[in-house]
Amino acid sequence: MAVEMRTPIPVKEAIERVIKIVKHKEVSTLPIEQSLNSILAEDVKATYDIPRFDKSPYDGFAINSKDSQGANGNNRIQFKVIDHIGAGTASDVTIKNGEAVRIMTGAPIPNGADAVVMFEQTTENEKGFTIRKSFKQGENIAFKGEECKENDIVLNKGKLINSGVIAVLATFGYQNVKVYQKPTVAIIATGSELVGPNEPLEPGNIRNSNGPMIESLCRGINIEATTYQIQEDNLKGCIDIVEKAMSEHDIVITTGGVSVGDFDYLPKVYEAIGANVLFNKVQMRPGSVTTVAYKDHNILFGLSGNPSACYSGFQLFTKPTIQKMMAAQEVYPVIIDAILAEDFKKANPFTRFIRGKAHFTNEGVYLEPSGSNKSNAIVAIANSNGMIILPSGTRGYAKGDTVKVLLTDHLSYESELNL
Amino acid sequence: MAVEMRTPIPVKEAIERVIKIVKHKEVSTLPIEQSLNSILAEDVKATYDIPRFDKSPYDGFAINSKDSQGANGNNRIQFKVIDHIGAGTASDVTIKNGEAVRIMTGAPIPNGADAVVMFEQTTENEKGFTIRKSFKQGENIAFKGEECKENDIVLNKGKLINSGVIAVLATFGYQNVKVYQKPTVAIIATGSELVGPNEPLEPGNIRNSNGPMIESLCRGINIEATTYQIQEDNLKGCIDIVEKAMSEHDIVITTGGVSVGDFDYLPKVYEAIGANVLFNKVQMRPGSVTTVAYKDHNILFGLSGNPSACYSGFQLFTKPTIQKMMAAQEVYPVIIDAILAEDFKKANPFTRFIRGKAHFTNEGVYLEPSGSNKSNAIVAIANSNGMIILPSGTRGYAKGDTVKVLLTDHLSYESELNL
């Protein structure tokens, strides 16, 4: 039996091939409190001027600036306080010569006033207060519309809805917002050796861990994932379950069965269902046999059964696809420079992705591999917050070398209080 | 009326004062699929050896290494294939002289074999295959227990449950796991000018946006937050609602009312309920009046009503508190060096936190302020993914200066495909 020949392509090209064919999903309308982390499918307009009215940005006194002219340390000018405005109320009075209104931050400027004196700039006395400097017209006033005007587009279609966007929507009284739908994911673990969490562990069996790992990777980015029954190494069963998953979800992730072994049926599944294979070999370790295919709107990820390779495949190919399907502008992983804290002497003809832990220190970002050579690969994933990228080459890497790291786990970045 | 004097403390000291008094919450048991992003409250032990049995890490043929001795390009040695094992099954045969078993990745090594020949290392023929190199005892075999042994502690108490931890738990057949409970948060917006999303906007009113912003900041880190009714500037009402919130939640966040204005009742609320104020002035802009207090197990955050200051206060003080309450080892925000892409000439006696957008490029991390001076502050938050930190000083900062940025919004990092 001949071994199938595959042509390995560079990682970057592989990612770009996938992203190129991905289309975003339909638009739907959500209540704003359910829209966090979706992508805006409409421009958002200001429904009124901000500020809505001329207001005081400080606690102090509203005055007419003309009355302050000539004030200095040797010539303090006296003001009489005729009213008191808190935020949320307006004053009916009109300020006349030498008068002032005590005003709190956010309250509307009363009639006749054109400047605000901060408390710290006054000396209070029984009659009111004195000042020792003159004020300019408009000084310490936040003018109606100076931040934005009614009907201004304040947020553009395509923007990720973060907490600031939620605040903007709330400010302008929007209760619903149009967003791009998020894709849903089907997860199918393949391999006759795999058993589920409740099944007995017979000789030759191992428990399915890639399925739960992928499910939690999806959940971590707020993507709904459905786990299908574990598939034994059986071609007909695999074809049926993949077709069912494609009819129910946008993205179908299989783990295992993607190599060139006798029971690696995924290549035959892609053929049987008429999927277009974008690549089936990538210049990377682990996970060189990672395969991505598509048919109509479905994208199929054939991730390796090796847990490290499965994890890398999700981070490199699946996550950017999810981002693009939900119409995100930023689809690629964040990759930064960091300093290797250990030697990595082994040369490799393919780019290596090594599970690592980034430490953010005052002296820079340091990387340590999170598992040594023979340590448990899954434990190394658990102890990682990034993937150290060691490009292919004829030499290894030394402690102190600057290399790239793809950040994966934003909640477990070690950081000093670097202030 | 005299202005209350407050002593501003450095930001770092303020954060440390808070973290010092925070205690972690109780332990509870969760199904593993609900445990993502919680913290392990127990060490996790391996329930069996990994690998569980001597197995093949490759697709190939299991042989006895003695039979391969003397093989070379001019002396190919022939093997006869007597069985075929896929993963998940075991072979009953025992290999004798010159025999081999075809074996797939992950399948158990058959009796009598002590090495695996990869497909690529063979030439197949009708009788079986030939090899042209000798193999060492144990070559290409993954031995039982070489990654970890039964009862080894594979994950330590205190670890964040990421997708890798889920995979470890699944591997070892755990269906439940002990975790530290997460704190819950009460949100109380104060200010007579504030109205909710459905209420009419009278003159002098603005809509409450800090409440929805904080709620989504909590939701973004998987923390349950409950929004209480907006409080008018009324001392008795504020005391009652804060006490109710304290009885129902660990953390109580108020927005507004924390300054020294006539209707800033929070200082009086802390006094009335007998809370210990950790600080009520911080050497930072905006948000210098941010106040943190505690009473028994409750932590109270008096965030500014200014949206930018409110956002900064949450990132600097509340988020690390949440992390520590859930027993996370990494409680501090990630702060990295980056290059200013614009001048910031204004000197400031306090540290400035400016909403900014970090761009991760091949040439480094570049920062642009996400809102100019008079642009809408809330829109600037929406357009940010970090807080640019400009330490106090007598001079400003120039384009090209390296400054620190506190990363806030991991989903909206702009990144080139930096591979």
pLDDT digits (tens, 9 = 90+) for B275-325: 999 999 999 999 999 999 999 999 999 999 999 999 999 999 999 999 999
Residue A262 CA to chain centroid, in angstroms? 40
Residue B3 has pLDDT above 80, yes or no: no
CB within 8 Å: A212 and B37: no
Give the pLDDT confidence score for residue A417 in this predicted structure: 80
User: Which residues fall within 8 angstroms of residue B348, CB to CB, at 6 or more apart?
Assistant: B285, B390, B392, B393
Of B119-123, B272-276, B292-296, B391-395, the one with minimum mean pLDDT is B391-395
The whole-number pLDDT of residue B88 equals 85
Band (A410; pLDDT cuts 50, 70, 90): confident
* C-beta neighbour count of A94 within 10 angstroms: 13
The pLDDT score that the predictor gives to residue B171 is 96
Architecture (CATH level 2) of domain B31-50+153-180 = Alpha-Beta Complex (3.90)
Is the model's pLDDT at A1 over the cut of 60?
Answer: no
Q: Are B300 and B242 in contact (CB under 8 A)?
A: yes
- Kindly indicate the confidence band of residue B373, based on its pLDDT and cuts at 50, 70 and 90: low
| Residues carrying CATH 3.40.980.10, chain B | 11-25+182-325
A-chain residue closest to B5, CA distance: A120
Mean pLDDT to the nearest integer, A290-294: 98
CA nearest to A174 within chain B: B197
A301: nearest Cα among A245, A355, A233, A263: A245
A18-38 per-position pLDDT tens digit = 999 999 999 999 999 999 999
Q: What is the pLDDT of residue B259?
A: 83
pLDDT band, very low/low/confident/very high, at B419 (cuts 50, 70, 90): confident
Q: What mean pLDDT do residues B380-404 have?
A: 92
3-state secondary structure A41-79: CCCEECCCCECCCCECCCCEEEECHHHHCCCECCECEEE
Q: Which pLDDT score is estimated for A2? A: 43
Chain B residues close to A146, C-beta within 8 Å = 374
> pLDDT-based confidence at B2, cuts 50/70/90?
very low
Minimum mean pLDDT range among A56-60, B153-157, B261-265: B261-265
Spatial contact of B242 and B283, defined as CB atoms under 8 Å apart: no
Place A111 in a pLDDT band, splitting at 50, 70 and 90. Answer: very high
For B165-191, what is the mean pLDDT? 97
- Give span(s): CATH 3.90.105.10, chain B: 31-50+153-180
> Which of A171, A227, A311, A312 best probes binding to B when mutated, by most B CB atoms within 10 angstroms?
A171
Separation between Cα atoms, residue A247 and residue B183, nearest integer Å: 40
Contact B119 A205 (CB under 8 A): no
Confidence at A412, pLDDT banded by 50, 70, 90: low
Per-residue H/E/C for A316-349: HHHHHHHHHHCCCCCCCCCEEEEEECCCECCCEC
Looking at residue B374, its pLDDT comes to 63
CA closest to A220 among chain B residues = B36
In this model, does residue A372 exceed pLDDT 90?
no
CATH fold of B335-415 reads: Beta-clip (2.40.340)
A chain contacts of residue B50, beta-carbon cutoff 8 Å: 376
Q: What is the mean pLDDT of residues A31-46?
A: 97
pLDDT interval class at B1 (50, 70, 90)? very low
Fold of A29-50+147-180: Molybdopterin biosynthesis moea protein, domain 2 (3.90.105)
Contacts of A378 in chain B (CB under 8 A): 164, 167-168, 171
Shortest distance between the Cα of A118 and any Cα of chain B, in A, equals 11
B146:A374 CB<8 A: yes
What token pair was written down for A163?
């907490």
What average pLDDT does the segment A278-298 reach? 96
Nearest to A335 among B1, B90, B360 (CB): B360
For chain B, give the mean pLDDT. 93
Name the more confident of B228 and B90.
B228
Residues in chain A: 419
Determine the residue among B6, B30, B166 to mutate to test chain A binding: the one whose Cβ has the most chain A Cβ atoms within 10 Å. B166
What mean pLDDT, rounded, does chain A reach?
Answer: 93
Q: Which of A146-150, A350-354, A408-412, B378-382 has the lowest mean pLDDT?
A: A408-412
Q: Please indicate whether residue B300 or residue B347 has the higher confidence score (pLDDT).
A: B300
pLDDT band at B412 (very low <50, low <70, confident <90, very high): low
- B396-411 mean pLDDT: 90
d(CA B419, CA B163): 24
Distance from C-alpha of A329 to C-alpha of A323, rounded to nearest angstrom: 8
State the CB neighbour count (10 A cutoff) for residue A111: 13
CA–CA dist A135, A70 (Å, integer): 9
pLDDT of residue A234: 86
Q: What is the mean pLDDT of residues B188-194?
A: 93
Give the closest of A50, A52, A409 to B162, CB-based: A409
What's the confidence (pLDDT) of residue A376? 83
Closest chain B residue to A209, measured at CA: B167
Q: What DSSP character marks residue B183?
A: P
Tell me the mean pLDDT in the region A40-65: 95
Q: Does residue B38 carry a pLDDT above 60?
A: yes
Q: pLDDT for A74-104, tens place per residue?
A: 999 999 999 999 888 888 899 999 999 999 9
User: Cβ contacts of residue B5 below 8 Å, gap of 6+?
Assistant: none
The band of B258, judged by pLDDT with boundaries at 50, 70 and 90, is: confident
* Tokens of residue A106, six digits: 């956010």
Provide the percentage of residues in chain A whose pLDDT is more than 70: 97
Half-sphere exposure of A329 (CA within 13 A, CB side): 13
Residues of chain B neighbouring A209 (CB-CB closer than 8 A): 167-168, 170-171
Domain B11-25+182-325 has CATH 3.40.980.10: yes
Please check the confidence at residue B372 and state whether its pLDDT lies above 70. no
Give the pLDDT band of residue A4 (cuts 50, 70, 90): low
Which one of B52, B84, B163 has the shortest CB-CB distance to A217?
Answer: B163
Instruction: Give the percent of chain B with pLDDT over 90.
Output: 81
- Average pLDDT of the segment spanning A130-147: 96
Residue among A89, A217, A379 whose CB faces B192 most closely: A89
pLDDT at position B414: 63
Q: What residue ranges of chain A are covered by domains with CATH 2.170.190.11?
A: 60-131
Contact A204/B172, CB-based, under 8 Å? no
8 A C-beta contact, residue A62 and residue A121: no
pLDDT at A320: 96
Domain B60-131 fold is: Molybdopterin biosynthesis moeA protein; domain 3 (2.170.190)
